[in-house]
């Protein structure tokens, strides 16, 4: 036998011996693991076969489905595109949701809306030619039914952290980083089912567009540098919907809007972000300058602090969640305090002071890789403790704004000049002319 044949025989013998020994040592656990692995593989292969077979099902290019926030809300970029499209003749625009409250509210407003897993909702997903959404296909649709459509991902912010295929903690990113192998190919094939037949993603600037192909696994000509429709509310009062407490609109407001973080805990666990702030000292300073301090945590961190309720000028509105459009809150914010949240990149369009309370910067960077160097794209004071936060904030309240030029520079990083105003109309025109009609 040749050397290669000898190596093959030895390898198969070693593998067989290993499997026999494993089975002998822990037969039940071994067989259970083998069964689970094979069952998962069979389910995935069957799911993938159905997913691709349904590409053959005829699609109606006039039917457009919209959703956002994993189907839980009527908000974000798809909301403002939806409101543009429903006034456009020749199209049937339907909002898809998994939230019964959203369904009831939209029905009462006269919109056409379907529950995601209803019979009608499934039929819509099987027939729709275009999907406009703000996250991934698997999180916002029945991807097996909807996969044969064209996906236009508006995303939900120009964030700092890497996501999808560039995020080493994500399924797709983990396997992208692995060396070539049959196992890697299998897992990346499965990850690929999180995309539709044709996929586009909306960007906001040339610098942002540069890393979108590797992030979302799309060709560069499918990256559309068209801005974010949700920011149109900054420039057009007629787009305002819902209610915002009057003290936020008429008074002087500082908003603390941190991003979500959960180090080594499951999604849904709660933590009190920024709980180390000296609220008594903060309240006294706010009273001196006549400001209200509003806390709006990420929707995955909605636990209110009982201590904060002792101060009338410190308000935690985190529990409002979907009842409040964050863009509307930003519109009436005078000073924004954040950390790594994409909220500040939108806020730059309003050219108001931003303060970065990054008390856990080292821990955060150990969990997340960023698309940019943090210092390069954070145009404001960076503070790491309660005393530093209050001192920096008081300087801003006294009128010391040292970062105006930096804000303009960073704004151009995240938003091309043509995307620094209303963009929903041009997005709709582009989608109709260059994607749907083709």
Q: What are phi and psi of 239, to 5 degrees?
A: -85, -10
Helical axes 27-53 vs 3-25, angle rounded to 10°: 120
pLDDT of residue 134: 96
Distance, CA of 138 to CA of 195 (rounded, Å): 8
| CA-based nearest residue to 378, from 398, 395, 400, 361 | 361
Question: What counts of helices (H) and strands (E) characterise the chain?
Answer: 19, 13
Average pLDDT, stretch 99-121?
A: 95
pLDDT of residue 325: 83
Distance, CA of 259 to CA of 158 (rounded, Å): 13
Distance, CA of 66 to CA of 114 (rounded, Å): 10
User: Residue 110 above 90 pLDDT?
Assistant: yes
Give me 218's structure tokens.
């799309």
SS3 content of the chain, % helix, strand, coil (to 5): 50, 15, 35
pLDDT of residue 15: 61
Q: Give the pLDDT confidence of 182-230 residue by residue, as tens digits.
A: 889 999 999 999 999 999 999 999 999 999 999 999 999 999 999 999 9
Distance, CA of 201 to CA of 199 (rounded, Å): 7
Q: Do residues 148 and 53 make contact, with C-beta atoms less than 8 angstroms apart? A: no
Type and span of the H or E element at 61: strand 60-66
Distance, CA of 134 to CA of 92 (rounded, Å): 19
User: Residue 8 above 80 pLDDT?
Assistant: no
Q: What are phi and psi of 408, to 5 degrees?
A: -65, -40
pLDDT of residue 244: 74
> Lowest-pLDDT range, 91-95, 202-206, 293-297?
293-297
Distance, CA of 96 to CA of 116 (rounded, Å): 6
User: Residue 419 above 80 pLDDT?
Assistant: yes
Residues above pLDDT 90, as percent of the chain: 68
CA angle (212 as vertex; 208, 217 as ends), nearest 5: 180
Q: Do residues 209 and 225 make contact, with C-beta atoms less than 8 angstroms apart? A: yes
Average pLDDT, stretch 365-376?
A: 92
Query: Which domains does the chain possess?
Result: 54-157+195-233+421-436 (3.40.50.11820), 238-416 (3.40.50.12580)
Q: Which residue stretches of 128-262 are H helix?
A: 137-140, 143-146, 171-176, 182-192, 206-209, 212-216, 246-250
Separation of CA 316 from chain center: 23
Q: Do residues 389 and 357 make contact, with C-beta atoms less than 8 angstroms apart? A: yes
Residues facing 63 on adjacent strands: 92
pLDDT of residue 265: 44
Highest mean pLDDT out of 24-38, 199-213, 228-242: 199-213
Q: How many residues does the chain have?
A: 438
Give me 368's structure tokens.
């997340």
Integer Rg of the chain from CA: 25
Q: Kindly state the DSSP code that residue 436 receives in the 8-state scheme.
A: I
Give me 55's structure tokens.
């590409």
pLDDT of residue 326: 86
CA 105 to each of CA 22, 97, 112, 171, 430: distance values in angstroms, whole numbers, following the listed order: 57, 11, 11, 35, 30
Distance, CA of 411 to CA of 379 (rounded, Å): 9
Evaluated on CA atoms 263, 298, 114, 128, the torsion sign reads: negative
Phi-psi region of 399 (alpha: psi -120 to 50; beta: other; left: phi over 0): left
In Å, the largest CA–CA distance within the chain is 90
CA angle (123 as vertex; 118, 124 as ends), nearest 5: 95
CA angle (318 as vertex; 316, 323 as ends), nearest 5: 120
């Amino acid at each position: 036998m040749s050397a290669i044949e000898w190596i093959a025989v030895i390898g198969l013998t070693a593998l067989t011996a290993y499997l026999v020994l494993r089975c002998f040592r822990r037969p039940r656990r071994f067989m259970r693991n083998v069964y689970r692995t094979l069952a998962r593989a069979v389910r995935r292969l069957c799911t993938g076969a159905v997913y691709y077979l349904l590409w053959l099902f005829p699609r109606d290019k006039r039917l457009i489905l919209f959703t956002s926030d994993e189907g839980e809300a009527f908000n974000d970029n798809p909301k403002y595109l939806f409101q543009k499209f429903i006034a456009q003749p020749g199209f049937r625009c339907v909002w898809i949701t998994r939230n019964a409250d959203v369904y009831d509210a939209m029905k009462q407003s006269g919109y056409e809306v379907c529950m995601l897993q209803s019979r009608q909702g499934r039929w819509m997903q099987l027939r729709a030619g275009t999907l406009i959404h703000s996250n991934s296909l698997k999180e916002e649709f029945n991807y097996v039914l909807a996969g044969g459509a064209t996906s236009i991902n508006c995303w939900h912010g120009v964030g700092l952290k890497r996501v999808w295929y560039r995020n080493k903690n994500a399924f797709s990113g983990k396997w992208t980083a692995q060396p070539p192998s049959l196992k890697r190919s299998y897992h990346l094939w499965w990850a690929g089912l999180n995309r539709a037949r044709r996929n586009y993603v909306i960007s906001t600037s040339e610098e942002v567009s540069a890393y979108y192909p590797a992030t979302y696994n799309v060709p560069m000509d499918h990256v559309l540098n068209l801005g974010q429709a949700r920011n149109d509310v900054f420039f057009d009062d007629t787009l305002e919907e819902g209610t915002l407490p009057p003290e936020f609109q008429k008074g002087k407001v500082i908003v603390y809007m941190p991003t979500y973080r959960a180090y080594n805990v499951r999604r849904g666990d709660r933590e009190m972000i920024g709980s180390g702030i000296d609220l008594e000292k903060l309240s006294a300073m706010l009273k001196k300058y006549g400001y209200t301090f509003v806390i709006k945590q990420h929707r995955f961190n909605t636990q209110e602090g009982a201590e904060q309720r002792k101060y009338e000028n410190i308000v935690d509105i985190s529990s409002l969640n979907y009842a409040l459009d964050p863009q509307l809150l930003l519109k009436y914010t005078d000073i924004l305090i954040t950390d790594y949240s994409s909220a500040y990149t939108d806020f730059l369009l309003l050219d108001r002071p931003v303060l970065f309370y990054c008390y856990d910067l080292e821990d955060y960077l150990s969990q997340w890789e960023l698309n940019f160097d943090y210092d390069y794209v954070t145009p404001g004071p960076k503070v790491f403790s309660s005393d530093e936060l209050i001192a920096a904030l008081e300087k801003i309240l006294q009128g010391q704004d040292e970062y105006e030029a930096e804000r303009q520079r960073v704004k151009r990083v995240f938003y091309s000049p043509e995307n620094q105003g209303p963009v929903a109309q041009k997005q709709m025109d582009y989608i109709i002319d260059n994607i749907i009609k083709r």
